[in-house]
Chain A
Amino acid sequence: MSSSFSRLPDTQGYFGEYGGRYVPPQLEKVLQEITEAYEKIRNDESFQKELDYLYKQYAGRPSPIFHAKTLSERCGGAQIYLKREDLNHTGAHKINHCLGEVLLAKRMGKKKVIAETGAGQHGVALATAAALLNMECDIYMGDIDMEKEHPNVTRMRILGAKVIPVVRGTRTLKDAVDAAFEAYLADPETIFYAIGSVVGPHPFPMMVRDFQSIVGKEAREQFQEMTGKLPDYLIACVGGGSNAMGLFNAFLEDKEVRMYGVEPSGLSLNEGEHAASLTLGKPGVMHGFKSYMLQDEEGNPLRVYSVASGLDYPSVGPQHSFLKDIKRVEYVTVNDQEAIDAFFELSRVEGIIPALESAHAVAYAMKVAPTLPKTTTLLINLSGRGDKDIEFVVNKYGKNYGL
């Protein structure tokens, strides 16, 4: 595979015109150090061996692919397959990059890892990796998200992490990122900022993608073993876009594989009621990188919303912006109600409760499957399980589903 994709980003961290490193200069030196340390370990056999061991013996990799036959039959068209990242230790794909980031932090001699979290999945995964590898861990989380996702807050605390409520701005993911940056700026020498998605200044979008790319690598092999061919469609939800990049990355050169990134259209496509950054945003610079971004006419990020806390971010990983522009990936939307329907449908016909984030990908598959022949295959990245969401979903939507 000798095409352009494997060389992205360039040495300055650009995917086409997106990405880069737009940070206050106090951070430049330490980001360069992380970049250099990462370049070293990415080709270091002992590091890769240690990471592989943890993936297999600790996180439970490889995650299986499951053919959701009943769901496929009920949709009455294409065959739906699930890459079961929900079965990983800690219940989502986030453990993949957290193990990588904390191992790297440890090798760099850092004492503490910090991060933001939205739904709490990244926070839990980082707290887990930090506990395993004996690092201190501070997690910044909007107090609104803390209330909604309190089981994950409890998990992080049990694991020994400090959860710091963020009460500034919109009190959700965007502001948690601001708060984590502020803490990082104050002590970049002893802290490692283990950012939670394929966002932020270079090298984070590249590094997190690489650690997540295990998902696509496995899926590519497993799927061919199961069916003798590659999937026709890949479908993944996109907030920051880490699970989608993880799946897509291994298939970018396979021109026959169509890819769909699913953004949350929330309550509507009106301002403040969705988080469809790629669908409705414009290029802008925030949190240290250039990408599509939902912003007002003054360049301030807009308020965003999704029923899934892990998706409500007004920007998106820069590689997704690039893949949109070159039309390699198509970005579509699914709203709250469709995601909730998919949440119950998958739970009730396959016995799998998906995370609300992942339910967006399932919902899109349910929409598109009926329009396709029975021979077409769809592979969804089922990026997380829904345990964290059950209370919220039942309280808010249960009545319509007999609960």
Chain B
Amino acid sequence: MNKTLHEVIARKKAVGDFLLSLYITAGYPHLKDTPQIILELDKAGVDFIELGIPFSDPLADGPVIQKASQIALNNGFRISHTFEILKEVRQQSSIPILLMSYLNPIYHYGIETFLNQAHIWGANGLIIPDLPLEERGLFTPFLDKYALDLIYLLPPNAPDERLHAIDDASTSFVYVVAYAGVTGRENSDPIHILPFLQTLKKSLTHPFLVGFGIHSHQDIAFYSRYADGVIIGSAFIKYLEKVTEKNIPKKTREFVHALTSPPA
């Protein structure tokens, strides 16, 4: 369990506030951009960061993050850069950072070695989209030792027993996937998931954040009524595609501002 992450969630919950998390692919758009992007997101009021470790075959990701991952790998991104990013950010910010990686890069790196490094450089938790609940034993023996939370994804079609199993295994929050499919669908209508969100509100003992396909102020307004927070990924990655290098800090702030303030 990670204290900082829990404090941030508890603080927001206490005042009935909504959690906003942003995803950024490490090493994208340019290899060295990531620490600055994270710091800007922090300043703009984002509650925590999902830092994606690029993988060549990201099964749960749509075209936008696939492309960003490939760009980051082509930029020369290595897993060790993850720790350099953390080191740089931690000199100025304590914003919780969850490392999002597919299983194989971590498995290949050595699971405990990776978790140890993540801990040393100040990561707060992990999201591993292709790690089934049944295989969490690969990680759980080390989580307390390295003060990390493992976040599980809850699919929209999950049967009751699955829902409870995921809730039971969770230690901080549950990541609810908004629709069947890969990340970044542009026309996903959140209204379909409403009955499911209402079920979750009653059944889950942990707070839950919704991710996948969330891209507008309108989406956030909707989810703020039924969930504890949202995770935004593809929309931000896509937005960065068109931003020139020197404008990244300013544009990052503007992106968050546009999401969190009602349209004029």
Q: Please give the residue numbers on chain A whose beta carbons come within 8 Å of chain B beta carbons, in ascending order.
A: 12, 20-26, 28-29, 168-169, 174-175, 178, 181-182, 185-189, 282, 284-288, 293, 295, 297-301
Contact = CB atoms under 8 A, between A and B. Distances in A.
Contacts of B156: 26
A185 B153 CA distance: 14
Given A25-B155, A185-B180, A187-B180, A298 B59 contact: no
B103 interface: yes
13 contacts: A12-B134, A21-B134, A26-B153, A26-B177, A29-B155, A169-B56, A185-B181, A286-B104, A298-B109, A299-B104, A299-B108, A300-B56, A300-B104
A351 to B, nearest CB: 42
Contacts, number: 113
B135 interface: yes
Contacts of A282: 108
A24 B130 contact: yes
B48 interface: no
Given A26-B156, A168-B66, A169-B56, A21 B108 contact: no
Interface of B: 55-57, 59-60, 62-63, 66, 70, 73, 78-79, 102-109, 129-135, 152-159, 162, 166, 177, 180-182
A25 B134 contact: no
Contacts of A178: 57, 59
Q: Looking at A12, A29, A299, which has the most chain B CB atoms within 10 Å of its CB?
A: A299
Contacts of A21: 132, 134
Contacts of B59: 23-24, 178, 181-182, 185, 287-288
Contacts of B104: 284-286, 293, 295, 299-300
B66 A25 contact: no
Given A23-B132, A25-B153, A29-B162, A299 B180 contact: no
A182 B135 CA distance: 22
Given A25-B158, A26-B157, A182-B182, A300 B132 contact: no
A25 B107 contact: no
A182 B133 CA distance: 21
